[in-house]
A and B are shown apart, each in its own frame.
Chain A
Amino acid sequence: METNRKEELLVLYASNGDENVYHEALKLFQEALQDNPNDPWLIHSLGYLKECRGIRFLREAADIYETGINTNPDFHKLQYQLIHVRSKIGESHKSIDYYKQKIAADPDDISNYSFLTQSYLYANQLLEAKKVVEAALQVAPRDPSIITCAVELYQRLKDIDKVLKYQQLSLEIDPRNLGVRYIAAFSLEEAGRLEEAAEEWKLLIKSLHEEGYHIEAEWPEGILASIEQRIQDAQV
């Protein structure tokens, strides 16, 4: 009987998200697992219970961001966050449809191209993201957000020459855009161009220290050290 009760509660929680149901189910599954800690079905059910709860919280976050966007459409961080959360709950297509409509309504607003590109990148739709970036660069060839999108896109497409081209352009427009330095450094390392990757990390580390980000510089310093070791090992 208790076995049925746990499963019933799990199905009920998955459909209605009632917190009381969740806590009751959690208690029963945890007690059952204490008696049978290696039972794969119990493990699966407990994991699924937690997974459903996690998805509910992410959906709540998405609703909060959406409400915020309606009242603060110019606060772009909300839009980027919504795109990100939607990708976690299998709803990237909603972001994609939304930004296509925004571009159709206002083709002069370059920010929607940037949001649409991010929506496609999060959904791993690289061909579509490339089309959006190429169109956006015709509309605004020196827009910083589009150029950063281009750097991200070409890193995913493993086109190192384009990564470096757009990284250079990005830094010309905004020398403090450290994000593109990270991407270029990783891309160069991935392409096996270790000396250039090391140079990129050195410039990044220098910028971080100049901006006062000393703690944030520690991790890149570790990466630089490991690349320099690999260069040394290759020469031996």
Chain B
Amino acid sequence: MKQQNPFAVASAIKNDAFNDVPNVWPEIRKKINRKIADKLLKELDCLPSPEGRVLTEIIYEMTESIQKFEKRGA
């Protein structure tokens, strides 16, 4: 009986194992990214920090809307 190269045998077994196991990593990665996004969006779902300009923008827009509404009513 011809002796087989043990490294070749091991390599063939490894290749078979990889080919037979489904590649679940993309699905796992998607789930992780979803969790990261959800966590981030939850953290950002609050009043903006006062150091920046967004709060001022929002207040200005609300003030303008109220003024327009009042003018229409007058």
A contact set with B: CB distance below 8 Å: 90-93, 96, 100, 103-104, 107-108, 120, 123-128, 131-132, 135, 138-139
Cβ-neighbour of B41 out of A104, A123, A124 (below 8 A): A104
CB neighbours (8 Å) of A104 from chain B are 37, 41
**How many A-B pairs with Cβ below 8 Å?**
67
The majority secondary structure among interface residues of chain B is helix
- Tell whether, in the assembled complex, residue B52 and residue A131 are in contact, meaning their CB atoms are under 8 Å apart: no
Known A123-B57, A125-B52, A128-B48; 9 more pairs at CB < 8 Å: A92-B53, A93-B54, A100-B41, A100-B44, A125-B54, A127-B49, A128-B49, A128-B52, A131-B40
Cα separation A221 to B34 with both chains bound (whole Å): 47
B contact set with A: CB distance below 8 Å: 29-30, 33-34, 36-41, 43-44, 48-49, 51-54, 56-58, 60-61
Cα separation A132 to B43 with both chains bound (whole Å): 10
- Tell whether, in the assembled complex, residue A120 and residue B52 are in contact, meaning their CB atoms are under 8 Å apart: yes
Cβ-neighbour of A126 out of B38, B40, B51 (below 8 A): B51
- Tell whether, in the assembled complex, residue A139 and residue B33 are in contact, meaning their CB atoms are under 8 Å apart: yes
- Tell whether, in the assembled complex, residue A124 and residue B36 are in contact, meaning their CB atoms are under 8 Å apart: no
Cα separation A120 to B48 with both chains bound (whole Å): 10
CB neighbours (8 Å) of A90 from chain B are 53, 56-57, 60
Cα separation A108 to B54 with both chains bound (whole Å): 26
Cβ-neighbour of A135 out of B40, B48, B61 (below 8 A): B40
CB neighbours (8 Å) of B44 from chain A are 100, 128, 131-132
CB neighbours (8 Å) of A100 from chain B are 41, 44
Q: Which residue of A lies closest to B58 (CB)?
A: A93
Cα separation A132 to B39 with both chains bound (whole Å): 10
